[in-house]
């Protein structure tokens, strides 16, 4: 099978788009007419085939650049695709229809806006504007926006749009779940308001395109003439609206080339339908399907680990993957005592790879399951002076974190007017723009901070009674919190503030995935604060973080969620926080059961297959969450990884097992020496400053000695091995005679005591 890759050397005059391709790749690149599906695993060159095929179409004269539409999901991916093509065909690339679904649909809509009731200069609303609008619509219908959070209604509407459903097509059954059955009605009114404002939201871009193509055959015909070839990357993640849009565009030419990997479908929660991919051959019966099997990205061990992991999914097409590359290094799995030592070890490893092995920082990535999990790594990178970049917002720059910090700043520093303005009416407490302007003016006249001016205003009649009452409530809360500053731990204070201010409740009410992420971030903020002596110390750290010096000549470590990493590749990949409940995510499994678990496993597969050379997977035995220690159990995905591709890492932290006995050798964490590379030394200074992580015990372990407080004879429970009795104790390692699994040595943090001896 491997002989396929040993192609004769390319002839000297081979054009770049035909160079270095294996046989099936070449076949796909030279395929010009009719439907083509390239269905294959990660790193097999799908994106490469797509870009080379595009260049080939142009060079053979089969299509002009302006006849080709090439679409993908993220701006970053679209840019990379365009760059690759530009390298082959030069400036002609500008005439190709390149972009994300949104960008291309917007471009088409601008030309025909009138047909759907818009003007060509329509605005595309951001989320805040959308929210304001839906809220107005709801209020006009006398719907209680407290009981039915506008954000939730908006999320429902955008799901309908993902499915290509205009208000008249939303079925009664679908709509009855929402806002006492008036969901479809609200949707219709919201759409009407958008038209009146000459605006649309993101979902509308495709939806209006669909209306346009369906209702105006002339326009569609015009596009059939303009666009003769359509190409789609990451096809497995298309939703229904995108699928319909593509189908309409290629209705006549049937020149559709889609590349994708069913094993990498990770947007089911946003309406992606792998079925689109699986149905391809039915819909386009004349379609050619090409499978690529040689992976060019990863070493043998990485690929082996990923392939075995994904084979645990039942609903998949199944495919073989091989690499000609050396086996390379085994996948390393590390267990750590807690999240802080995990983050620290990752940072030390990055530092060491950069310094001793000259691995560029930007070819290393830390990929996490959930947005809030970047925080622990950001903090340690800041502390150690490792330049990093977050794809998406950095933790401390996220809206909810800025809001929470504004509350804290105002408590510590009552003259902080920016903080005051940010949160005086967040959550909404009846203090509108007019009231705030009044306070601002009074403050200016009296030469006082706004909070002080507001306090004065409580005893006069400047404000109407209602506004005065709301303001009094707010000012009194701030005064009370200030009083508590010296008396209760700062982590407790922040929880009180978030609670009493109604800020947490505001997000809780929304029940959207987005709001869930924000609540997780707020919890993580409490955890972050735990590492600091007091509130001013923490705020000092924050201001340091915010003074964003974000360009670094030596590159930056990439930090992002697994979702954001799709299609990208890195030399070294770190996959931390692999604990049950976090990954696979408990929430996904609760909501979607077995199919949720499979989507989680695909995410793990995406994560592992991003790595070219080295991969480090890790988990922590305990984490501090919301000020409390929680013990963690290694993710089931670790147990699914095959032994022959793993190595038990003993250099940092602990050696790990998978489903087998977990044995741990605690090792001191090596300290990273300072000073390498340009810009490094200056950043190193920062690590000297403050920030001593607090050490708190894992339940059942003494903080000072690391001794467990278990006694011989205690009855304990372990997630994997079940019940057993402690038969020996060595520091915090227990030897347990499990009823079923026999004798094992495990770390105390991994078991729960059933009863004391």
Answer yes or no whether residue 47 interacts with Mg ion by CB under 5 A. Answer: yes
Candidate ranges 47-55, 406-414, 556-564, 666-674; the one touching Mg ion (CB under 5 A): 47-55
The reply to whether 234 belongs to the active site is yes
Q: Quick one: 550 exposed, middle or buried, by C-beta within 10 A (0-12, 13-18, 19+)? A: exposed
For residue 380, the partner it binds in ligand ATP, Mg ion, none, with Cβ less than 5 to 8 A by kind, is: none
For residue 701, the partner it binds in ligand ATP, Mg ion, none, with Cβ less than 5 to 8 A by kind, is: none
The reply to whether 46 belongs to the active site is yes
> CA-to-CA distance for 322 and 292, rounded, in angstroms?
10
548-567 residues in contact with Mg ion (CB under 5 A) are 567
Rounded alpha-carbon distances, angstroms, from residue 252 to 168, 229, 281: 28, 10, 17
Candidate ranges 15-23, 95-103, 140-148, 556-564; the one touching ligand ATP (CB under 6 A): 15-23
Minimal distance, residue 261 CB to Mg ion, in Å: 8
Question: Which x/- pattern over 276-315 shows residues binding ligand ATP (rule: CB under 6 A)?
Answer: --------------------xx------------------
The reply to whether 709 belongs to the active site is no
Strand ranges in 283-328 using DSSP code E only, listed in sequence order: 288-290
**What angle, 0 to 180 degrees and rounded to 10, lies between the N-to-C axes of helices 680-688 and 374-384?**
100
Question: Which x/- pattern over 602-621 shows residues binding ligand ATP (rule: CB under 6 A)?
Answer: -------x------------
For residue 43, the partner it binds in ligand ATP, Mg ion, none, with Cβ less than 5 to 8 A by kind, is: ligand ATP
Q: Quick one: 392 exposed, middle or buried, by C-beta within 10 A (0-12, 13-18, 19+)? A: middle
Among the listed residues 234, 338, 580, 649, the single catalytic one is: 234
Q: 475-498 burial string, b = 16+ CB within 10 Å, else e? A: bebbeebeeeeeeeebbebbbebb
The reply to whether 592 belongs to the active site is no
Candidate ranges 39-47, 190-198, 240-248, 595-603; the one touching ligand ATP (CB under 6 A): 39-47
Q: What sign for the dihedral angle of Cα 684, 686, 689, 692?
A: negative
Q: What are the residues whose beta carbons fall under 8 Å from the beta carbon of 252, sequence distance 6 or more?
A: 221, 224
Question: Which x/- pattern over 513-552 shows residues binding Mg ion (rule: CB under 5 A)?
Answer: ----------------------------------------
Among 24, 31, 39, 45, binds ligand ATP (CB under 6 A): 45
Answer yes or no whether residue 261 interacts with ligand ATP by CB under 6 A. Answer: yes
The reply to whether 233 belongs to the active site is yes
Cis peptide before 584 (omega within 30 of 0): yes
For residue 25, the partner it binds in ligand ATP, Mg ion, none, with Cβ less than 5 to 8 A by kind, is: ligand ATP
Cα Rg, the chain, nearest whole Å: 29
> CA-to-CA distance for 506 and 523, rounded, in angstroms?
15
Give the distance from CA 535 to its chain's centroid: 29
- Which of 233, 202, 217, 231 lies closest to 97 in space, CA to CA? 231
The reply to whether 648 belongs to the active site is no
Tokens of 407: 């509350």
Among the listed residues 25, 44, 46, 238, the single catalytic one is: 46
Q: What sign for the dihedral angle of Cα 330, 339, 673, 555?
A: positive
For residue 99, the partner it binds in ligand ATP, Mg ion, none, with Cβ less than 5 to 8 A by kind, is: none
Helices (H) and strands (E) in the chain, counts: 28, 22
Q: Quick one: 418 exposed, middle or buried, by C-beta within 10 A (0-12, 13-18, 19+)? A: exposed
- Which of 337, 310, 332 lies closest to 321 in space, CA to CA? 310
Among 17, 21, 231, 720, binds ligand ATP (CB under 6 A): 21
Among the listed residues 44, 238, 264, 435, the single catalytic one is: 264
**What angle, 0 to 180 degrees and rounded to 10, lies between the N-to-C axes of helices 513-529 and 399-412?**
40
> CA-to-CA distance for 755 and 757, rounded, in angstroms?
7
Question: Which x/- pattern over 565-604 shows residues binding ligand ATP (rule: CB under 6 A)?
Answer: --x-x-----------------------------------
For residue 48, the partner it binds in Mg ion, ligand ATP, none, with Cβ less than 5 to 8 A by kind, is: ligand ATP
Minimal distance, residue 290 CB to ligand ATP, in Å: 12
Q: Which residue is nearest to ligand ATP (CB)?
A: 45
Q: With the CA atoms of 240, 245, 246 and 251 taken in that order, what torsion angle do they form, in degrees rounded to the nearest 10?
A: 120
Interface with Mg ion: number of residues (CB under 5 A)? 3
Answer yes or no whether residue 24 interacts with ligand ATP by CB under 6 A. Answer: no
| 72 or 622: CB nearest Mg ion | 72
Minimal distance, residue 377 CB to ligand ATP, in Å: 23
For residue 44, the partner it binds in ligand ATP, Mg ion, none, with Cβ less than 5 to 8 A by kind, is: ligand ATP
Residue the block writes with tokens 């049937």: 254
Among the listed residues 610, 624, 720, 744, the single catalytic one is: 610
Tally the residues of the chain.
757
Judge contact between 87 and 19, C-beta under 8 A: no
| 524 or 569: CB nearest ligand ATP | 569
Residue the block writes with tokens 């990949």: 573
539-568 residues in contact with ligand ATP (CB under 6 A) are 567
Judge contact between 743 and 727, C-beta under 8 A: yes
370-399 residues in contact with ligand ATP (CB under 6 A) are none
For residue 410, the partner it binds in Mg ion, ligand ATP, none, with Cβ less than 5 to 8 A by kind, is: none
Q: What are the residues whose beta carbons fall under 8 Å from the beta carbon of 350, sequence distance 6 or more?
A: 361, 364, 386, 557, 572, 574
Candidate ranges 46-54, 404-412, 484-492, 685-693; the one touching ligand ATP (CB under 6 A): 46-54
| 232 or 729: CB nearest Mg ion | 232
| 203 or 567: CB nearest Mg ion | 567
65-94 residues in contact with Mg ion (CB under 5 A) are none
In the complex, the residues that contact ligand ATP under the rule CB under 6 A are 20-22, 25, 42-48, 261, 264, 296-297, 567, 569, 609
Q: Which residues are catalytic?
A: 46-47, 233-234, 264, 610
In the complex, the residues that contact Mg ion under the rule CB under 5 A are 46-47, 567
């Amino acid at each position: 099978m491997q002989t396929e890759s040993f192609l004769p050397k390319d002839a000297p005059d081979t054009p770049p788009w035909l160079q270095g391709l294996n046989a099936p790749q070449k076949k796909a690149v030279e395929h010009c007419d009719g439907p083509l599906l390239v269905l294959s695993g990660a790193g097999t060159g799908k994106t490469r085939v797509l870009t080379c095929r595009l260049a080939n179409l142009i060079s053979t004269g089969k299509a002009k650049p302006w006849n080709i539409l090439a679409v993908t999901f993220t701006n970053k991916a679209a840019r990379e695709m365009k760059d690759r093509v530009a390298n082959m065909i030069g400036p002609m690339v500008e005439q190709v229809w390149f972009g994300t679904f949104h960008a291309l649909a917007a471009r088409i809509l601008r030309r025909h806006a009138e047909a759907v009731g818009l003007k060509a200069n329509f605005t595309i609303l951001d989320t805040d504007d959308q929210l304001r609008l839906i809220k107005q619509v709801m209020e006009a219908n006398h719907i209680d926006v407290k009981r039915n959070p506008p954000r939730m209604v908006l999320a429902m509407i955008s799901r309908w749009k993902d499915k290509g459903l205009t208000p008249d097509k939303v079925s009664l059954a679908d709509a009855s779940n929402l806002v006492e059955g008036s969901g479809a009605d609200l949707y219709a009114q919201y759409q009407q308001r958008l038209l009146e404002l000459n605006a649309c939201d993101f979902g509308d871009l495709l939806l209006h395109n669909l209306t346009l193509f369906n209702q105006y055959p002339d326009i569609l015909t015009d596009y059939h003439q303009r666009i003769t070839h359509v190409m789609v990357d990451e096809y497995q993640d298309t939703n229904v609206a995108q699928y319909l849009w593509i189908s309409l565009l290629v209705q006549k030419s049937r020149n559709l080339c889609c590349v994708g990997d069913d094993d990498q479908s990770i947007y089911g929660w946003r309406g992606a339908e792998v079925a689109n991919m699986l149905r391809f051959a039915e819909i386009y019966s004349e379609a050619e399907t090409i499978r690529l099997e040689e992976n060019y990205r990863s070493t043998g061990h990485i690929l082996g680990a990923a392939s075995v992991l994904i084979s645990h999914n039942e609903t998949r097409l199944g495919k073989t993957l091989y690499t000609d590359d050396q086996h390379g290094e085994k996948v390393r799995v590390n267990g750590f005592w807690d999240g802080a030592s995990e983050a620290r070890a990752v940072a030390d490893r990055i530092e060491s790879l950069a310094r001793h092995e000259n691995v560029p920082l930007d070819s290393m990535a830390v990929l996490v399951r959930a947005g809030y999990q970047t925080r622990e790594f950001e903090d340690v990178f800041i502390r150690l002076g490792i330049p990093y970049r977050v794809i998406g917002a950095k933790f401390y720059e996220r809206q909810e974190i800025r809001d929470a910090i504004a509350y804290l700043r105002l408590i510590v520093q009552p003259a902080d007017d920016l903080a005051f303005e940010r949160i005086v009416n967040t959550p909404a407490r009846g203090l509108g723009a007019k009231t705030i302007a009044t306070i601002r003016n009074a403050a200016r006249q009296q030469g006082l901070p706004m909070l002080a001016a507001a306090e004065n205003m409580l005893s006069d009649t400047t404000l109407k009674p209602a506004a005065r009452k709301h303001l009094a409530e707010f000012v009194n809360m701030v005064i009370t919190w200030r009083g508590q500053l010296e008396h209760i731990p700062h982590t407790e204070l922040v929880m009180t503030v978030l609670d009493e201010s109604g800020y947490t409740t505001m997000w809780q009410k929304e029940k959207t995935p987005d709001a869930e992420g924000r609540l997780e971030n707020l919890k993580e903020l409490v955890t972050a604060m735990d590492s600091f002596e007091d509130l001013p110390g923490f705020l000092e750290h924050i201001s340091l973080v915010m003074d964003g010096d974000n360009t670094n000549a030596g590159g930056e470590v990439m930090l992002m969620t697994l979702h954001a990493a799709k299609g990208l590749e890195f030399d070294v990949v770190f996959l931390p926080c692999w604990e049950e409940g976090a990954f696979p995510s408990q929430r996904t499994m609760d909501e979607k059961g077995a199919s949720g678990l499979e989507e989680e496993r695909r995410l793990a597969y995406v994560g592992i297959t991003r790595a070219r050379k080295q991969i480090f997977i890790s988990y922590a035995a305990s984490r501090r969450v919301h000020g409390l220690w929680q013990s963690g159990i290694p993710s089931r995905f670790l147990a699914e990884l095959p032994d022959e591709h793993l190595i038990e890492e003993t250099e940092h932290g602990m050696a790990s097992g998978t489903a087998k006995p977990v044995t741990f050798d605690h090792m001191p964490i090596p300290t990273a020496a300072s000073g390498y590379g340009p810009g490094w030394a200056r950043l190193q200074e920062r690590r000297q400053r403050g920030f001593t992580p607090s050490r708190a015990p894992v339940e059942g372990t003494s903080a000072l000695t690391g001794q467990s407080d278990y006694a011989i004879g205690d009855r304990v429970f372990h997630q994997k091995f079940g019940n057993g009795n402690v038969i020996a104790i060595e520091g915090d390692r227990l030897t347990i005679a499990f009823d079923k699994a026999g004798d094992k040595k495990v770390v105390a943090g991994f078991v729960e005591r059933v009863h004391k001896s």
